[in-house]
Amino acid sequence: MSNEKSRLLTPDSVFRNPQFRHGGNIYAFARARGVTPERVLDFSASINPLGWPPAATRAYRRALPQLVHYPEPYAESLSTALAAYHDLNSRTVLVGNGSTQLIFLLARALAARRVLLIAPLFSEHAAAFCLSGARVERFFLRPPTFTLSLKRLGSSLTKGYDALVLTNPNSPTGALIPRPQLEELACLCQRVRTRLIVDETFVDWVEEESLKQLAARSPHVIVLRSLTKFFAMPGLRVGYLIGQARLVARLRARLEPWSVNTVAQEVAFACVRDQRFVRRSRTFMVQERAWLAEQLAGLKGLQPFPSRANFLLVRITASALNASSLRQALAREDLLIRTCADFPGLGERFFRVAVRTRQENRRLLNGLRVVLSQW
């Protein structure tokens, strides 16, 4: 584990920097391949392979006639539904146009001067804080375990950070920081007056590990959530933030009204009311992830890491192959994987794959077998 300072980026360099690329760009991939986006089997974005709850489709249709009206300006009814879903007070929930909007809102509103990111980490946190003029530094978690040592982090935190950001479970590693350890970290942060921002985009798969209850009552802890992954709707754009009511009110005052459209509000409402779908998704993922991890581990030249989310990080151990060559080779089968060289802290030999349905996972495995047999 080490601590590395990163250069203060200008807004232009942030968006030109390859480090701010994402998975899931099936459009660019399909264009480059000369195929339609529908042909792409996307393992690069980690979306629930069971799709969205059936009630979401009905809600979508029901919402269409309402498009002649403005949506609720701050999705107040949805905030109440999300709060009920999590057993929270509705004043502690703020809904946004995907969690990405809230990441940028937070960076602007907190006006942090110095921020520590626990890396590897989703790139938009660095982008948002850089754009707001903060100096961004990283604390690296290292393979093979990617575990967090509070002692090491604690001594870094004494250097005076305004905010500490981490994802739990981590993306792209899939490693989980257990809740008791995070609670300890929250105490540490409070002592050194550092705000703790926990991006829980993937925590729906291990809901009991969420820090949401603590965030709702502590002024220095903020949790970010999203419907994108678990409810399989990256195209709809719904995310939310959980924090102490006073902080949420302050943030709401800085959020653009009507950020979340009517259809998105209605569909999201239906999603969180479908408990059967939630249970079915979790059971499916535990089983399918274990199966896929075992199959990947059985392929000579690949080492998957343990994950508590709906994806697996894999290291290539085959001598001459790197993830970008692997990506290119799999592309010939219209299979898209997420290479991880642009995540500071990982390198050329790491890639991430979503856990999809059995049939789709078999297609990936077949593709991998072919490529590995040729190297």
Interacting residues with ligand PLP (CB under 6 A): 98-100, 122, 167, 171, 199, 201, 226, 228, 234, 239
CA atoms within 13 A on the CB side of 134: 29
Crossing angle for the helix pair 179-191 and 150-157, nearest 10 degrees?
Answer: 20
Residue 372 Cβ, how far from ligand PLP at the closest point, in Å? 27
Query: What is d(CA 363, CA 41) in angstroms, rounded to the nearest whole number?
Result: 9
Residue 356 Cβ, how far from ligand PLP at the closest point, in Å? 16
Query: What is d(CA 80, CA 92) in angstroms, rounded to the nearest whole number?
Result: 9
Residue number, 46 or 321, with CB nearest to ligand PLP: 46
Residue number, 88 or 309, with CB nearest to ligand PLP: 309
Residue number, 125 or 252, with CB nearest to ligand PLP: 125
Residue 354 Cβ, how far from ligand PLP at the closest point, in Å? 11
Residue 170 Cβ, how far from ligand PLP at the closest point, in Å? 8
How many of the other CB atoms lie within 10 Å of CB of 11? 12
Residue number, 137 or 204, with CB nearest to ligand PLP: 204
Residue number, 202 or 321, with CB nearest to ligand PLP: 202
Residue number, 259 or 329, with CB nearest to ligand PLP: 259
| CA quadruple 19, 104, 44, 300: dihedral sign | positive
Residue 179 Cβ, how far from ligand PLP at the closest point, in Å? 18
Residue number, 198 or 329, with CB nearest to ligand PLP: 198
Q: Can you state the percent helix, strand and coil of the chain, rounding each to 5?
A: 45, 15, 40
Q: How far is CA 100 from CA 8, 124, 217, 269, 353, in A?
A: 21, 7, 23, 19, 21
Residue number, 23 or 71, with CB nearest to ligand PLP: 23
Residue 169 and residue 205 in contact, taking contact as beta carbons nearer than 8 Å: yes
Query: What is d(CA 169, CA 202) in angstroms, rounded to the nearest whole number?
Result: 6
For 176-211, the DSSP string reads: ---HHHHHHHHHHHHHTT-EEEEE-TTGGGGGGG--
DSSP 3-state assignment of 241? Answer: strand
What is the number of the residue whose Cβ is closest to ligand PLP? 98
Residue 30 Cβ, how far from ligand PLP at the closest point, in Å? 19
Give the phi and the psi of residue 344 in degrees, each rounded to 5. Answer: -55, 130
Residue number, 134 or 321, with CB nearest to ligand PLP: 134
Residue 119 Cβ, how far from ligand PLP at the closest point, in Å? 12
Residue 86 Cβ, how far from ligand PLP at the closest point, in Å? 16
Residue 118 Cβ, how far from ligand PLP at the closest point, in Å? 12
Name residues whose C-beta falls within 8 Å of residue 114's C-beta, 6 or more positions apart in sequence: 134, 135, 137, 159, 160, 161, 162
How many of the other CB atoms lie within 10 Å of CB of 285? 22
